[in-house]
A and B are shown apart, each in its own frame.
Chain A
């Protein structure tokens, strides 16, 4: 859906590089995570898509067309720095932003009503923003972002400021939107939300893309072939044989259970057979690195 090619963006007349040779490909109806520490260049890229700033070099396409002002109506953007008008009522505010995105007043009204029911906030319509708590304002911010039914949704740190209950509520809505065909770009430095939600991910560090791909593939790519095993009723001879054959670490025993990690790059079935000989298998699972570990590994290498 969205394709960026060799984007370069600099500030201060080229002295500070924000993005360099940055290319990604975001498929339609997917959640694409932009991952990276603060200052890596995520916001710069998002601002280019939103046409707030222009790239120095490179091109962006949306649905096969080069980025142009027409696209703005199909983009919903929730910036990391949240903000709404404090002394305007929630209702007026929503209608205003809807109209700015090219909706008619009636259309904006019916969409706003729909979202207010979805998020259980229909009693807030006449309240001023200054009367709402921070979490409540965040919900309004989300509605503002999705009101005009954008095909592309760009969320910068969408869960910051939400309590766990509301974060879940928003998460469900994001996933529902994806299932209805919306493409979502999610920028964050919180890795765990990526693992839960994203289909694809790109890691950015120091203005460069470090790696990208399906979340599954990326994690596979960084796995160390380490398995964690818990055995019961172990046969000590076989155990000795096992320690000779495999590289075993972090062995502990408690309540007659042997717990350890081992590395195996060969066929897992052979390993399982060896383990079966050694004792009763209580647990056997491959240790797949978290995004956090992937990120640290990718940045270090």
Chain B
């Protein structure tokens, strides 16, 4: 045990002291944020605001055609049409002239065909679609009015139907859309974290094994400690490295969240009176309370417990596989063929789990979260939706058993593999090592 501790300590300290680790840990979140801002900025930069003058001879649109964020409509008197059209080429401050003809005898077809948008520059598809939909919405209302239906009824026609669903076996409260959305997001988030963690740090274990093998330092260590101790120390050391990185990132995001939050409430106070209504629809604070309420309403202790368990065991399961791979080959280029064994089941678990979102109680969800190869990913994807206890227990016991088996098998491969220099082991040879 003391040897495992020493090896874990060394593995942890050397990896954490590396410049690349420090840089990655500190810079990765900043880079992510920076990248997001950059992408947002790029979208923003290509967005154009258009200013159109509108000559509305029909009189239907005044007051109805409202400016949006991207398009500003300015109604101008009909008698300016000719001079505007003539000078449009040189006019600044306006990008086009929308001419709507008179409506004669409620002939909407003629109006539609007679409407023209003259522009002095190229206009994107989005803008054209936006203008035409703005116009057709108003026309639609107008047409319905012609049929003799009152305005308040029209508003009523457009109302969306909200389906309230409730699972009677789980709780007495109906489940809101928001709750389902949050659960889906949580499930996806946790699943990705586990998936990325296993792959990134599994490969790190493999690299570390290969490094010792290539350095030939392994022969000295193996003359002092058992191969199993070396392998376990390595896996645990890398786990600690990963946890450290997580802690730093969590601390950073919490700090950032607190900082942004205070900034947000300050911003809210400064909102001019006129815009208050707009904010009300969005009421972030209420949503935040609701989100945290939903999160706390779930069995979060259970979720965290299950998450930590599947996370650790899944990681040990796969990284012992990676350790075995590292020991069986001679350099990193040769690892690819073998790493497929570790990556494919994880990918299956990940992509299979997307179907879990649609049907959390389906057979796919069940099997993926029971079979140990995929359960670390799939069970975590399922857990926010609630999983029957017996399934969790079954999955946990299967995962424990297969993790022990995998560590045992990996230790056998590792024992022989680390002392083989110069050639890559074949699958047949590896099978022989396992059986010996």
Contact B18 A85 (CB under 8 A): no
* Interface range on chain B (Cβ under 8 Å from partner): 20 to 34
Contact B216 A100 (CB under 8 A): no
**Taking the complex as formed, is A96 at the interface, i.e. its CB lies under 8 A from any CB of chain B?**
yes
Contact of A72 among B215, B223, B419, B432 (CB under 8 A): B223
The distance in angstroms between the C-alpha atoms of A69 and B223, with both chains bound, is 10
Contact of A84 among B3, B215, B222 (CB under 8 A): B215
Contact B225 A100 (CB under 8 A): yes
The distance in angstroms between the C-alpha atoms of A78 and B419, with both chains bound, is 15
Residues of A within 8 A of B (CB): 13, 47, 50-53, 72, 75, 77-79, 81-88, 96-97, 99-101, 144
Give 29 pairs: A residue, B residue, CB < 8 Å, sorted on A: A47-B419, A50-B222, A51-B223, A52-B219, A52-B223, A53-B419, A77-B223, A79-B220, A79-B223, A81-B216, A81-B219, A81-B421, A82-B216, A83-B212, A83-B215, A84-B217, A84-B220, A85-B14, A87-B18, A88-B14, A96-B6, A96-B10, A99-B6, A100-B3, A100-B7, A100-B221, A100-B225, A101-B224, A144-B220
On chain B, the residues within 8 Å of A88 by CB distance are: 10, 14
B window 169-206: CB within 8 A of A: none
On chain B, the residues within 8 Å of A81 by CB distance are: 216, 219, 421
Query: With A72-B224, A77-B223, A100-B221 in contact, do A83 and B216 touch (Cβ < 8 Å)?
Result: yes
On chain B, the residues within 8 Å of A53 by CB distance are: 419
Task: Tell me how far the C-beta of B259 lies from the nearest C-beta in chain A, rounded to whole angstroms.
Answer: 36
The distance in angstroms between the C-alpha atoms of A50 and B227, with both chains bound, is 13
Contact A75 B223 (CB under 8 A): yes
The distance in angstroms between the C-alpha atoms of A79 and B432, with both chains bound, is 26
**Taking the complex as formed, is B218 at the interface, i.e. its CB lies under 8 A from any CB of chain A?**
yes
The distance in angstroms between the C-alpha atoms of A72 and B221, with both chains bound, is 11
Contact of A86 among B3, B215, B222, B225 (CB under 8 A): B215
Contact of B219 among A79, A85, A99 (CB under 8 A): A79
Contact B14 A77 (CB under 8 A): no
The distance in angstroms between the C-alpha atoms of A100 and B219, with both chains bound, is 13
Query: With A97-B224, A101-B224 in contact, do A83 and B6 touch (Cβ < 8 Å)?
Result: no
The distance in angstroms between the C-alpha atoms of A75 and B222, with both chains bound, is 12
Task: Tell me how far the C-beta of B50 lies from the nearest C-beta in chain A, rounded to whole angstroms.
Answer: 59
On chain A, the residues within 8 Å of B218 by CB distance are: 83
The distance in angstroms between the C-alpha atoms of A82 and B217, with both chains bound, is 7
